[in-house]
Amino acid sequence: MSSAEGLPLQRVPKHVAIIMDGNGRWAKAQGLSRLEGHKQGAKRLRDVIQWAKDAGVKQVSLYAFSTENWKRPKLEIAGLMTLLATLLPLEVPKMQEKGARLLILGDISKFPWLARRALDKAVQATKNNTEIDVILCLNYGGQQEIVDGVKSFYASFDDEQTRAKAFSELTPETLYKFLGRDDILPVDLLIRTGGEKRISNFHLWDAAYAELYFTDTNWPAYSEQDLIAALQDFAHRERRFGKTSEQVQAGDRDE
């Protein structure tokens, strides 16, 4: 049984994370404003969700606004928040058609009220959809996520003795429960567009064994063939998770 473009389903990543980089560079090359680049990038997002769904991907997470993006010019930030508040409600009917469920990762409490309302309404409207999850990472940073998880773990104990014992026995599996990622799968494939080759504080925990894929294509110009190329590259990678190549191949033969 195969997915889009003949990829075997067992070789399709379940969770694809995307750093949507290059909006500004694309706009500059077109003689347009950075905000227009972000607007075109938002439109591209709709297509990528459909292409990922067609390929058999179950979750797509999108680095839409990082904890570091507050350092950008205030006018650009205001424009981004306005785009979120105005464009997201228009996308909800299309998400319903696709069976897409919207999830939010990050602290949106600092966002303007109109943006928060648009997000809350979209999450509620799509909560029962099951075809694909769309995870918007907003005011999100991997380091802050881990810090917040440790704080939540610390606050879950009433006395110092119990807390000290729990810290001495702390495991990654235990801490994971405090990261607020209950519905989110580990990242299989992390894609960055726009030519840069770094992960920029994105999914530091759940991308521990992710395959990384970088492309020079700026996000507004990203095409279905660009996505298929990334998925095909992933399908040919050997994912060992700490094992040797021989162990992995032996496991494949046993299946």
Residues serving a catalytic function are 21, 69
DSSP, collapsed to helix, strand or coil, labels residue 176 as helix
Q: Are 148 and 106 in contact (CB under 8 A)?
A: no
| Structure-block tokens of residue 90 | 């228009």
Beta carbons within 8 Å of 90's beta carbon, 6+ residues apart? none
Q: Residue 136's closest CA among 192, 45, 64, 206?
A: 64
Instruction: Give the length of the chain.
Output: 255
DSSP assignments along 180-230, one per residue:
T-TT-PPPSEEEE-SS----TTSSTTTTTTPEEEE-SS-GGG--HHHHHHH
* DSSP state letter for 22: -
- Whole-number Å distance between alpha carbons of 179 and 153: 9
* Distance, CA of 190 to chain centre: 8
Q: Are 238 and 64 in contact (CB under 8 A)?
A: no
